[in-house]
Structure 1
């Protein structure tokens, strides 16, 4: 009978006539060296009736230190503009949902302003030590924020740390518009929106120090100057 110790506890074997170390080792699927080590044997002499400790099968093969640290393949980082401390998940969000097909645009070649107000921080300008990826428009809290063009909502929530409550809309030309620091969000992911539809109300969520709308236009996840796209 082949009573292999299946990798559990060590077994004990009593030597019988005709046994050799290599025979016993083969029988239990262990190496002769492991067998010798387990029994403090120097030579290969064994005698009938001797009890041998059989090390667990394959025990000497496993180097525990290496099995734990399986290399995790590191994926290349998405484009991270110099805005934030490595947490520009907006770029990731703009890329993550390619599957949502945006409805056809209006054919008007410029975006409409999402809200009318004074631009308090321009594109690529620095405020509080951070480069602005869009423009900030000063607005009283609760002002309706409107979609700049027909599109599909690919993100609506408050998971983008500094942005606070944010809506991302993908348009049929592949551009994505970002509406941040909202007080309330009126749309959810997957919603189709039309140009001029109220999608949020402005506020000062996230890191906004004053009530405002932070508006971005992203092309291939990279922020571009929104004023070049606005009518």
Structure 2
């Protein structure tokens, strides 16, 4: 019995560290969680009410042939992009152009060939990536997207060369194998596309979530001071756990139903359960590149765009996701990279 008890404890401690796909079949997420399926572009029938209602994406990429374009009098970079079918940012990058993107008649511009997706209103980067069975992080790198990762309506995204030409032919298993989701994907790819010239707007009310097709505003600045989100037993610390497994945060054991409190002032960037390993998950943007994550919640009390204060209850801890005992998975990220929360939290007695 003693050996069995130790084995169960070890499973709980390491459960928040996603294992390799080849030898692991995760359990399904619990049905009682709030869900936000539209972030991925698919909305099941009778889906619960949610602020995540981004537009489902239909694969409609158009192929552009590689070549050279000779700039004509009156040409603009955007006009050349519209004429050739390539993305303006891709053209700029391929030709070493920087803002304000000055071009001159007679100049020869390299046009990068490939398949391009034209962004429509309400589409998110994650939804676009899933529609083509491609990792969102690959689209970010290929298109040199930068913070705050807000797409523009009409923007053309170059797709990875190895994405299928007809994504509709992919089976469910093939789609699952080609597309996964992690916290960084949500941080960089969950904002709905805006019309050209439009700006993200502040939430209209302190307690009210912003409209589904409005981007959230990142707080202007943050001091970098945090408080503990729960009081409990440290089950797993930050860093490598051997065998290629890494914990990007802390796992803190607490009784089920324990209030989860915001570690600092900020704006809710995500509240849902699309990342199966974490179950109920909340992300808070604090400004200056700081983001905190709270996983394995049984109840989510906040919605996207809602402003919260340090110490405010944002959810209740549980054992959703791939864990065997109630706990909180807590992360602190700076400029998208996980950092050891212990360094930034007050010392415990």
Structure 1 length-normalised TM:
0.60
Deviations 1:31-83 (A, max 9, x none): xxxxxxxxxxxxxxxxxxxxxxxxxxxxxxxxxxxxxx95536776269xxxx
1:72 — aligned with what? 115
1:133 — aligned with what? 248
CA distance in 1, matches of 2:252, 2:244: 18
Tell me the secondary structure at the aligned position of residue 116 of structure 1.
coil
Higher alpha-carbon deviation: 180-189 or 87-96: 87-96
After TM superposition, list the pairs within 5 Å mapping 1:3-152 onto structure 2.
70=63, 71-72=114-115, 77=138, 87-96=180-189, 97=191, 99-103=215-219, 109-126=224-241, 130-152=245-267
Contact 1:165 1:205 in 2 (8 A): yes
| Aligned length in residues | 158
Deviations 1:116-167 (A, max 9, x none): 1111100014289731111000011100000000000010000112110100
RMSD: 3.0
Higher alpha-carbon deviation: 183-192 or 119-128: 119-128
Tell me the secondary structure at the aligned position of residue 72 of structure 1.
strand
Structure 2 length-normalised TM:
0.41
The structure richer in helix per residue is 2
Structure 2: gaps of 5 or more residues: 1-61, 64-113, 117-133, 142-177, 192-199, 201-214
Q: CA deviation at 1:106?
A: 7.8
The structure richer in strand per residue is 1
Deviations 1:186-231 (A, max 9, x none): 0011100000000010001111121100000112222111111112
Contact 2:222 2:286 in 1 (8 A): no
Q: CA deviation at 1:115?
A: 0.4
Contact 1:101 1:172 in 2 (8 A): no
Contact 2:222 2:290 in 1 (8 A): no
1:222 — aligned with what? 337
Structure 1: gaps of 5 or more residues: 1-68, 80-84
After TM superposition, list the pairs within 5 Å mapping 1:188-203 onto structure 2.
188-203=303-318
1:44 — aligned with what? none
Contact 2:294 2:328 in 1 (8 A): yes
CA distance in 2, matches of 1:103, 1:136: 27
